Chains A and B, each alone.
Chain A
Amino acid sequence: MKKEKTKSAPILVQMFIYAAILFTAQIISDLMPKTFPVPTPVIGLVLLYVLLTFHVIKVEWVDSFGSALISLIGFMFVPSGISLAGNLKIMKAQGLQLIIVVIASTIILLVVTAYTTKFFSWVIEKITNNQLTVIDHKKVGGC
Chain B
Amino acid sequence: MKYITNPLFGVFLSLIVFLIGQWLFKKSKGFFLFQPLFVAMVLGIAVLIVLAKYFNVTTATIYTKAYKPGGDIIFWFITPATIAFAVPLYKRNDVVKKNWLVILLGLVFGTLISMALITLVAKAVGLDAVGIKSMLSQSATTAVAMPLTNAIGGNASVTAMACILNAVVIYALGKQLVKWFNLNSDPLGTGLGLGAAGHTIGSAFALELGSVQGATAAVAVVATALVDNLLVPVFAHLVGL
Contact = CB atoms under 8 A, between A and B. Distances in A.
Q: Do A and B come from one complex?
A: yes
A123 to B, nearest CB: 8
A113 B94 CA distance: 21
Contacts of B109: 116, 120
A102 B161 CA distance: 9
Interface in B105-134: 105-107, 109-111, 113-114, 117-118, 121-122, 125-127, 131
A15 B186 CA distance: 35
A100 interface: yes
Interface string A37-62: 11111101111110011000001001
A141 to B, nearest CB: 11
B34 interface: no
B164 A81 contact: yes
B63 interface: yes
Given A67-B84, A75-B14, A102 B204 contact: no
Contact of A104 (B44, B118, B198, B220): B118
A41 B80 CA distance: 7
Contact of B157 (A21, A52, A87): A87
Interface size class, chain B: 35 or more
A73 B167 CA distance: 11
Given A78-B37, A121-B102, A97 B126 contact: yes
A79 B103 CA distance: 32
Contacts of A79: 10, 14, 67-68, 71-72, 74-75
Interface string B206-240: 01000000000010111001100100000000000
A19 B80 CA distance: 8
Interface of A is mostly: helix
Contacts of A36: 229
Given A70-B204, A72-B81, A101-B135, A39 B87 contact: no
Interface in B181-202: 181, 183, 185-186, 188-190, 192-194, 196-198, 200-202
Contacts of B192: 113-114, 117
Contacts of A52: 86-87, 90
Interface string A85-101: 11111110010011111
A107 interface: yes
Contacts of B194: 110
Contact of A115 (B81, B157, B189): B189
Contact of A78 (B18, B80, B91): B18
B83 A45 contact: yes
B41 A94 contact: no
Contact of B188 (A46, A47, A121): A121
A25, A59, A104, A124 — most chain B CB neighbours (10 Å): A104
B177 interface: yes
Nearest to B118: A105
Interface string B62-80: 1110011001101101111
A3 B80 CA distance: 27
B196 A101 contact: no
Given A70-B84, A90-B158, A104 B48 contact: no
B102 A120 contact: yes
A109 interface: yes
16 contacts: A41-B78, A41-B141, A62-B86, A70-B204, A79-B14, A79-B67, A81-B44, A82-B48, A101-B118, A102-B169, A108-B117, A108-B118, A110-B177, A111-B177, A113-B189, A116-B110
By Cβ-Cβ distance, the 5 closest A-B pairs, closest first, are: A117-B106, A81-B41, A79-B71, A39-B143, A66-B84
